[in-house]
Amino acid sequence: MIDRGRGKIVNIASVQSELARPGIAPYTATKGAVKNLTRGMCADWAKYGLQVNALAPGYFKTPLNQALVDSAEFSSWLEKRTPAARWGNVDELVGAAVFLSSKASSFVNGHTLYVDGGITTSL
């Protein structure tokens, strides 16, 4: 990419890049690292024409999260905590990924885009 003078990198972060939940400190630490890695890569490589951003999903219905989805207690907590009042659907990540990968984001660099139903905006 440096030789070409252009390129786009989209790292996968998480709302856990900003938030913590009991019992998942190692996951939270790694996702915080992805967010700052994204910023560092931008600082190092933007001068070569590279764009490095991160996509940070909130809570989405996936096979990996199925136990949480199936937990009435957790789902109730999530729906009360998230302004959109629901779990995300995986297809709702597509537009954000396309945006970060397209010319529409030509001056977006070092950014973490949260697709989270607003959970990172409120207590």
In the chain, the N- to C-terminal Cα span, in Å, equals 41
- Give this prediction's pTM: 0.93
Q: Which of 27, 48, 59, 114 is catalytic?
A: 27
Q: How far apart are CA 27 and CA 47, in angstroms?
A: 31
Q: How far apart are CA 79 and CA 59, in angstroms?
A: 10
Tell me what pLDDT residue 123 has. Answer: 74
Q: Which domains does the chain have, with CATH numbers?
A: 7-59+89-116 (3.40.50.720)
Residue 59 bears catalytic tag = no
122 pLDDT tier (thresholds 50, 70, 90): confident
Residue 50, SS3 per DSSP:
strand
Mean pLDDT of the chain: 97
Per-residue pLDDT of 80-112, as tens digits, reads 999 999 999 999 999 999 999 999 999 999 999
